[in-house]
Structure 1
């Protein structure tokens, strides 16, 4: 902590004779300067030593500096006035430079008295502030602006400020802790499954003496329902506060907490503040300084309530972890981030999960091959049931064999053998570089979110490139990353993703956009996946284009299912873990798109 001191004006109106009674050495102006210098520098012990009551001075000065936590303190306009015997009155201005650019300036007075060894500041709390009395302390209180609701892109409220009740229990006052924990668990488990008798007991056992264990935070309506069962429990108490909560309970659990954190940061930045005196009970006595809060700006999310609801509904019946991310290609606006309950238990799979993409990665492999100019969408390629790359046998699913077909057909029917061969023939970094042109392997710092796109390592091994080429090997992606891939195909370049209007992502390691010829070919090929390929389950919906993916994991007996695609200005990725094939992901995509209408 730094401190500053300026003496812009020093008027010493006293001429003290060297023979002043009871005094020797420095004059009162020197004693005052020594005291104020120590106060300004934060040397509480030295400041207190320059008073006639060091212990009391040290207590008050320490409390004041601890509360204000200043970045600096200026002392100006010192003035020592005409003496009255061995007592001198002095005045000065204190200007506290507080954090967040706050300033508090005022005049104060002190008496200096002649002592056996020189002059001393006569200690009174008014030395610090003229309204600070004996036994009082200072308090610095925030004044938060009213919290506005968080709106979706269409102005529909996503979160509103609502009253919540914190339920805490003091183990020292609970008496029969096992009985109290059991009663709390019975009443609260329906609102939070993790609240059990054992969890409450464990929490209480780890609580320091004198502290309370926070059990749960309830919406006001839920609190009223359980109040009769828990209100009179020994050691249990309740605290009310305002908090932003989703309008729809349980919606957007992977994104709304991050948006709420941004709002709270904005509220803190717009907060006003008050400095008050308090009595020995902590009660407020008087207000010394007040700055009202600034009006907090409304926060508008890029999310669409309609699309978010459709995404959540599309996944809710899946037995395994499921995630869906939807992005507007033209703007990068994140329209929906949805997971089912099973995924929520594992964390943010949609935004930062790392999974093999399976054949959805053939979008990148196709782009890399097309960029060489050696093939186009109509070029004839071989699609045998199996192929060998340096003694590594790579089969199609079920070893289907199409013979020699156009590249777009091999793509639509998802020929592993074709794309393994194409990838094996590319340079060591070709897939890595091309992936970055679609957002994979790039870094996005999205305000309000933690995201991972994926990892596409370069390789000098033809076998490794072959396996990477159909989304196995060492390639890992997230649903967020694959949604960016689909958005890039539709928009022609990687969009800059955002979750709050006016707060785009900072980007790093994004490659140059794919060429128009490559993009045109990919759009044709992804449309054929739906019309005649592996995603004909979406054929009844207009203008859908995409790519399916089945990604083996573990010992190879289990597979994740993917569908990545776009329709109009909507791009999305669906991941169903351990689904066995891509078919359930296609069905979930159909429910999602049909739900949007």
Structure 2
């Protein structure tokens, strides 16, 4: 009985299986073929697809020729619901292309035919684009709007279209002249590498204009006559978005140029060959806002047309398939004062090491100048630098000490040297003997007594230092800044020699020149300053924040960005009374300390603090030179890497800047 049951079950299974095969209408095979087709077209490679009426290889070549103008873009293609009729099937293919800021969507109908046990795709150009005729290919054209300006305080045009000339060899003008000889002569005239330029000219096509250099029209010393004297050479007038000078706020603003292949690839279709885009600084961060939207057309035209044939045909014989309208960019408004920015750059003009001057208005937080000197080699030292602040950090120490019950008139002990866990700390070279021993906190601050502040380490915890720093706007997010910046870092935990080093702005304490200016500005304002640089950060697609793309290699003293993220807001904001006590001590640095030279600066009384921070492993160690100051409604930080003493190196730069700033 059991064996009979098993046999019956086997027979039933065999009969059912046969029934299923008999009922198979081929739908599964057709659907698989449709999915394979959609996947192959998405990859723009149909070499593995079986066609009716066309060899796979030939079909693949035609597909690549049709879509060549859209390279490197590829479509997303999905197959829809299949309609089956005996040995034929029809399936919709839905295409989606991301072109510039737009999306080109269309649907075509693919036909499949069964041949034996295979489903073949019926080849036709309309499989690729609706209405595409045999012998037609796609073409594209792009029309970019002028790049929007970057504006400064009062609407001043910091970056705007300025006239330039593209100097190069126009190969059709060479006639019988030797291309290599002309290229060499022109390269030597304009100061570019002759060998490299000769290679570019020789590699270019016979109709090409090969640019050697682009010169500002204003102030150029190479004349049209000198250029024209070289066979094939000419200057073509153009315009580019440029700052007033080549170096003006370059690290902060960034630059503009033709998009590289890498930038085009990373843009996801937003950039096309020939588009201009920003590199570094605000130009890169706010590129979408400034660039606007290019007007783009995709059209069908007869394959193989020459430029002359296109001109002879009405509208080039084109049939427009898709269009994105051009949209102008939106100017980026900043608080930069062009006069103060240029003054800061001129002040740093002869400084060899990396350097910076940041000036801001405490009452509003507006950043008026953020200059990085020539020694910074294109790096934004002013906003991104990460350096030990040295004794300017005694402003933070003093706030913590005031909060623990002290005042500028309280007495502190200032020995010549001090040992902490075997490490000896001392005062700067030339520290006045008259200010050693038992002195007021004001006197210790004015002369920058390291040992007095390290002596206070048992009464001021590392957590209190961190709290005092954030109270002054240091290591606190600046949501209104709108630019990449390092806002300072003060560890909340440290002990032994590291805590002692923190008391004199070393150890793991770090600041940028911007953070130092914020600290000084908070003293002047009597409450924490929230710095602001960009006034309309939300006008485009950029997200303002405290991160930035790498712009150059940081110099030796810069610490890698491993510092903790800034706090969301100040813990306990500095009060007007606390700030008044701090300003009193900063004024003493000028009236009785070692920056007496600032007393002659006209206008409101200057209050300041110097700083000298050791770094590296040299013996004696190299030092950063700092000074911060407040002068009316102006707070300034001056920094020089490898600068010696703050008072003797950064101090004179500060005096020059404040005096000229008026």
**TM-score normalised by the chain length of structure 2:** 0.69
Question: In the alignment, does 2:450 pair up with 1:416?
Answer: yes
1:82-231 matches, within 5 Å, as 94=94, 96=96, 98=98, 102-106=102-106, 121-162=121-162, 183=185, 186-189=188-191, 195=192, 197=193, 201=195, 216-219=213-216, 225=222
1:505 aligns with 2:545: yes
In structure 2, the CA distance between the partners of 1:75 and 1:390, relative to structure 1 (3 Å rule), is: closer
8 Å contact kept, 2:472–2:529: no
2:241 alignment partner in structure 1:
244
Shift of 1:327: 2.4
The alignment's TM-score, normalised by the length of structure 1, stands at 0.76
**Counterpart check, 1:280 vs 2:345:** no
Post-superposition offset of 1:251:
1.0
Deviates more, 1:99-108 or 1:343-352: 99-108
Q: CA deviation at 1:305?
A: 1.0
1:521 equivalent in alignment to 2:581: yes
SS at 2:153's partner residue?
coil
CA distance 1:133–1:569, shift in 2 (3 Å): farther
Deviates more, 1:489-498 or 1:569-578: 489-498
Q: Secondary structure at the match of 2:155?
A: coil
Separation (CA, whole Å) in 2 of partners of 1:89 and 1:168: 59
SS state at 1:451 partner: coil
Q: 1:146 to 1:526 in 2, by over 3 A?
A: same
Structure 1 Cα separation of the partners of residues 571 and 360 of structure 2 = 20
Is the contact between residue 493 and residue 513 of structure 1 (CA under 8 Å) also seen in structure 2? no
The residue aligned with 1:588 is 653
Alpha-carbon distance in 1 for matches of 2:252, 2:475: 22
| 1:154 aligned counterpart, secondary structure | helix
Further displaced range: 287-296 or 28-37: 28-37
How far 1:471 moved relative to its partner?
Answer: 2.9
1:124 to 1:296, Cα distance in 2 relative to 1, 3 A: same
SS at the partner of 1:293?
coil
Q: Paired residue for 1:435, among 459, 469, 473?
A: 469
Structure 2 gaps of 5+ residues are 1-23, 255-280, 308-315, 538-543, 548-564
The 1-side partners of 2:533 and 2:514 are apart by 12
Cα 1:59–1:29 shift into 2, 3 Å: farther
- Number of equivalent positions: 556
Residue number in structure 2 paired with 1:9: none
CA distance in 1, matches of 2:461, 2:90: 82
CA distance in 2, matches of 1:445, 1:182: 52
Which residue of 385, 410, 417 corresponds with 1:379? 410
The corresponding residue for 2:328 is 295
CA RMSD of aligned residues (A): 4.7
DSSP 3-state at the match of 2:154: coil
Residue 551 (structure 1) aligned to one of 595, 610, 613: 613
TM-superposed CA distance for 1:245, in Å, is 0.9
Aligned pairs for 1:388-407 (under 5 A) are: 388-390=419-421, 392-401=424-433, 402=435, 403-407=437-441
Aligned to 1:18: none
CA contact (8 A) 1:385 1:400 kept: no
Residue 382 of structure 2: SS of its match in structure 1? Answer: helix
Residues 232-241 or 258-267, more deviating: 232-241
Where structure 1 has 5 or more consecutive residues not aligned to the other structure, the ranges are: 1-24, 190-194
Moved more, 424-433 or 244-253: 424-433
